[in-house]
Structure 1
């Protein structure tokens, strides 16, 4: 059993009740549907939300069938239910994981890092003709802008090396090679993730999750790495395209009602956007967010559904309850 199986089992057992396969797939891949956003926070699985954004549905389906054959889960018309727990799923309880607040930010960062290392290394080796290790044009433009700021700094290579060493020598990194062996520059061409995992004799998914965990920790401690921090992108990029359009209007001072009219969308759709915005920027006071006193009263209880929250505070609308569920207020 590899870490992808353990991740699936962890998500399934966290929800306690049977959940439909399409809902579980949304949680695993980080699809920000209204239900996925709300329920991931209600069941306190937001930190493990969307850890495999590129997981293909056919792989997901095959893994579920394999787990069912082995007696770990049951799949029926009610959904997927856990039958047998695995202690190894505790790997995903680590505070290192910050899934909802990061999602694919580490993936973008690592593409930037691969390019930055290549550019800085080739400059050091006075190599001006080469193919970018990452083909993505947006990533190339990002690093080009970054390098234009630093290209006249004669100590750039040393600064980058020192920050990378500080990070890679930390206890949060189990396998340095899942990062370092990917780097290209000078006459060196980096290995693929599969090649590295085969050499380390670990499964590709075990290697992937260790790679991701180290990047999550790096993002959490980004203030300690000012040069690497410049290669990280803003949380705004996490918002869905439509959610960002609503966020942009809100930041420009438009009210909830004005945004509904301007965007010509259903009120419920704009509500979904604000739940996503609140979950992404928990310090932001969005329209209809309950006051701190109400939030604290709700946080003192444990709820498995919005219906339970509504029974506890019947005067609040379901929209207000959803905002409360994702608010992140600490007791």
Structure 2
């Protein structure tokens, strides 16, 4: 089993046979549609969003086929699949020997951490060459925005660049030597380029650690997300914090149309009234409300669904052990599909229970190959 196989099995386990194979593909590839975003939050799979932004459908389908051939996946109907008992056992066994990525924050960090990493690579390369008085080198990042940012930092630091270089090195050393650091620091360090030193590629790291390319990617991403989380402490990591403070997004991001709807919601307008004012369908306004409930933890749905009905819907979903709305509605016929969706996303948005068995029993797992390194 490859690391990709294992991650996809976790995804299928999270969706529990409720969603199609395509939904898993859209989740891990990071397709930014309302349905994928809703799935990610509804099933507690936000952390797995856009884990493999460059994955092809061919690679995804090949992995799924391999899992099915081993009887790790069972087909429920034409579109839906779920993890078999054999698959569950294989997943447990795999993560007994391979570190589980408990620090991944795909939905929260996917764009921001990527920009930070590009800046870090080019800044460290530039500072290293500056320290050795080398003005000519091939930049590891060709992104004009990243290059402009590094140039601005060089101008800002002026004659104190060597001092800032030492401080940056100290912060990186403290981070990578922290007992909480989730993996081998080489997943980060060996990719950096400096004076007369070329960073390793993913393929080279895979050979170095005797693991597959997919595992290199996820374990690097897990370490990067850990770093990104830690450097939010401005007092402890002032240099690293300054490298991302301008790219830190709002706590939640709504589409422009949903933000307009929210202004009317805050004025206590009903769905029908907002739809009439905005010349939109009721269902469109309901979609906006679903998006708001997903993005804003403090948003109350009580005005749309009575507490008693909320409890009935959630109890039905818990009893069925899935979140297929048609079957939930059969158990709570008085509820509309909008109310069912709203309750599921509202009550499920903080659901991260799926992590516990992996964190408790698998989180410290490390392959023997990596231990030797």
> Would the TM-score normalized by the shorter structure come out above 0.5?
yes
How far, CA to CA, are the matches of 1:184 and 1:261 in structure 2? Answer: 58
CA gap of 1:59–1:80, structure 2 versus 1, over 3 A, is same
Please report how far the alpha carbon of residue 185 of structure 1 lies from its aligned counterpart in structure 2 after TM superposition.
2.1
What is the root-mean-square deviation in Å for CA atoms of aligned residues? 3.8
Larger mean CA deviation between 144-153 and 107-116 belongs to 144-153
Residue 67 of structure 2 corresponds to 67
Q: Structure 1: give runs of 5+ residues left out of the alignment.
A: none
Cα distance change on mapping 1:313 and 1:329 into 2, 3 Å: farther
Matched, 1:198 2:207: yes
Distance, in Å, in 2 between the alignment partners of 1:199 and 1:95 is 23
Report matched runs for 1:107-256 at 5 Å: 107-154=114-161, 155-170=163-178, 171-222=180-231, 223=233, 224-232=236-244, 233-236=247-250, 243-246=254-257, 254-255=263-264
* Contact 2:314/2:343 (8 A) holds in 1: no
Alpha-carbon separation, structure 2, partners of 1:96 and 1:294: 34
Distance 1:116 1:82 in 2: 44
Higher normalized contact order (CA 8 Å, seq sep 6+, divided by chain length): 2
Corresponding residue for residue 332 of structure 2: 311
Tell whether the 8 Å contact from 2:203 to 2:213 is kept in structure 1 after alignment. yes
Task: State the aligned residue count.
Answer: 321
CA contact (8 A) 1:143 1:231 kept: no
Once residues 2 and 159 of structure 1 are traced to their aligned partners in structure 2, the CA distance between those partners, rounded to angstroms, is: 39
Contact conserved, 2:122 with 2:140, CA < 8 A, in 1? yes
Check 1:271–1:216 CA distance in 2 against 1; reply closer, same or farther (3 A cut): farther
Distance 1:300 1:192, change over 3 A: same
How far off its partner does 1:132 sit? 1.6
Which structure's CA Rg is the greater one? 2
Contact 2:43 2:348 in 1 (8 A): no
- State the alpha-carbon separation in 2 of the partners of residues 12 and 260 from structure 1: 37
Most deviating of 135-144 and 316-325: 316-325
